[in-house]
Amino acid sequence: MAEKFPKQLKYTKDHEWAQIDGKTATIGITHHAQDALGEVVFVELPAVGKQLKKGDTFGVVESIKAVSDLYSPLTGKVVEINSALVNEPGNVNSDPYGKSWMIKLEMSDAAEAAHLISVDDYQKLVDSL
């Protein structure tokens, strides 16, 4: 069973997570998001090199229940995508924090990361839904 709220990550109210390592942020969707979506059958990710502003749509996740946009929690340039998800979208359900990271972003403004929410605040948000 995957950990629902890894403490080393930062979160958004839109249910994305970010792991900050220097100027690079690895981004994916949370356990709560994949659980709400149900079985993920398709993932669309941006091209490497795409510039994103905080709040921009960077891709799409499609499940048997719904299609959901993915929102960038930070501003920066996409430096890597997890192309394995295109062929194995179900990994989003089985391992949302490990094998299922979606993009790596070179942050333009590392200070933006301070606006992401902590694990405790994210857990309170999920509990209130």
Q: What is the pLDDT along the chain (129 residues), one digit of tens a residue?
A: 457 899 999 999 999 999 999 999 999 999 999 999 999 999 999 999 999 999 999 999 999 999 999 999 999 999 999 999 999 999 999 999 999 999 999 999 989 999 999 999 999 999 998
* Separation in Å, CA 15 to CA 30, 35, 126: 6, 11, 9
Pick among 1.10.10.10, 2.40.50.100, 3.30.2350.10, 3.30.420.480: CATH of 11-127: 2.40.50.100
pTM: 0.94
39/36 Cα distance (integer angstroms): 9
Residue 2 confidence (pLDDT): 52
* pLDDT for res 1: 40
Tell me which H or E stretch contains 81: strand 76-81
Q: Which amino acid is at 110?
A: A
pLDDT, residue 129, reads 87
Q: What is residue 9's predicted lDDT score, i.e. its pLDDT?
A: 96
Distance CA(10)–CA(42), nearest Å, equals: 25
Question: Domain segments of the chain: what residues?
Answer: 11-127
